Structure 1
Amino acid sequence: MYYHPIHVFICRMAAQVVPVLTKLFDDYQKTTSSKLKIIDAYMTYILFTGIFQFIYCLLVGTFPFNSFLSGFISTVTSFVLASCLRMQVNQENRSEFTAVSTERAFADFIFANLILHLVVVNFLG
């Protein structure tokens, strides 16, 4: 049976990628704190929400453009704010954020999200 070279290449790459992803997942489970895992789950949810909005825009259209734009900007900005929170809460970055406590970082995150969503609701009209 003849196998196309591209199929052979893909099978070899998959055989190399699977152990790397398995080790990455195992190390993530062992070394990441529960606070960071919760933030990562939130960021994953936001990422998939943004992808879903973009696919919906491509398939259906952007008729109420303000609604699409405000929703998409909200997801992107929420992702950025969550990544900033993750950097500040991560214990490996304590040397860079010595003046910011974990509680202060979370309060800043909540305040920035409040301002963001007030702007989004105002943009909707």
Structure 2
Amino acid sequence: MLLADIFQAFKDEYKKSPVRVKVLDAFLLYALATAGVQFAYMLLVGSFPFNAFLAGFLSCIGFFALTVCLRMQVDPANKEFAGTSPERAFADYCLANLVLHLVVWNYMG
């Protein structure tokens, strides 16, 4: 019963979080699922163009890391980024994603 109580408390607290944070959590799950599918494909089929696999996989992992940073900045419960507006955080996120994907695009060759 202890595990069920912990899960119920987590669910009750998560319901209180804003919709913006829940959307970012969905993006995080998407990034992890995409990285998992790419890794499973590499294990099953092989990694012939290894730089293409690395570019795709690291793109998903980089996207995940940047989205975690955005989630930390726009979460109102996080007081560490209280002075940062959500618009500024999103602009930083877009710029960092642009740089990430330009690097990935160049790495694919």
TM-score (norm 1): 0.80
Percent identity of equivalent pairs: 48
Cα 1:42/1:61, change in 2 over 3 Å:
same
CA-atom RMSD, angstroms?
Answer: 1.5
- Runs of 5+ in structure 2 lacking a partner? none
Equivalent in the alignment of 1:110: 94
How far apart, CA to CA, are the structure 2 residues paired with 1:106 and 1:98?
15
How far apart, CA to CA, are the structure 2 residues paired with 1:82 and 1:103?
14
How far apart, CA to CA, are the structure 2 residues paired with 1:40 and 1:83?
9
Question: Matches of residues 30-109 of structure 1 in structure 2 within 5 Å?
Answer: 31-94=16-79, 96-109=80-93
TM-score (norm 2): 0.91
Q: In the alignment, residue 21 of structure 1 is paired with which amino acid?
A: F
Shift of 1:21: 2.4
Aligned length: 109
Which ranges of 4 or more aligned residues in structure 1 deviate by more than 4 Å? none
The 3-state SS of whatever aligns with 2:89 is helix
Greater RCO, CA 8 A, separation 6+: 2
